[in-house]
Structure 1
C-alpha cells in the first residue's frame, strides 16, 4: 500500500472564538450618551441583540443593556422602530 492509496482525513473547520469588543486596553467605554455605539447592539426592530451573537462578555452585556435602557428613558434611543423608519415607501402601483 502506497501513500497515494491511503485516504486523507479532512480536518474540521476551526472557528476562532470571538473576543469581547469592550475588553482590552483600547476598548471604548460603555456610556448611555454614546448613541452611535449603542445603536450597533440594537436590532432593526429595537430589541437588544443577545451576547451570543455580538460576542460581548456577560459583565459588559449587563452594562450595555443598562446603558441602552437609560438612553431609551432619556429619549436618545427609540424603544421600538416602525417599518416606515426602516425602509422607504414603495411607489404606488399604476
Structure 2
C-alpha cells in the first residue's frame, strides 16, 4: 500500500512520521529503522548520485528541522519501508 502526501515528524512519537494526504487526512505511520529513503532535491540527504539514498534516522532529523517534503510512502504490514520524495507540479 502506498500513501502520497506531505511528510512531517511526529512531535510526540519518535520513529513515527505523519503523511498529510492530498484528501486532507493526516495518517501517522511507524517508520522502519531499515526504511529506504530516496531524496531527489538534497533536502534530506545529499550524498551520492540522484536520487540520494539515506536512512530513516536522517529523514527524521530533516523533518524535525522543518522542510516538508512531498513523498510516496510504501507500507508493508502497516510500517513505512520506503519513502520516495516526489516533485510536485
Category of TM-score, reference length = shorter chain = under 0.3
**Bigger helix share:** 1
**Bigger strand share:** 2
Q: Which has the larger radius of gyration?
A: 1
Which has the higher relative contact order, 1 or 2, with Cα contacts under 8 A spaced 6 or more apart? 2
Q: TM-score, normalised by structure 1?
A: 0.23
Q: TM-score, normalised by structure 2?
A: 0.24
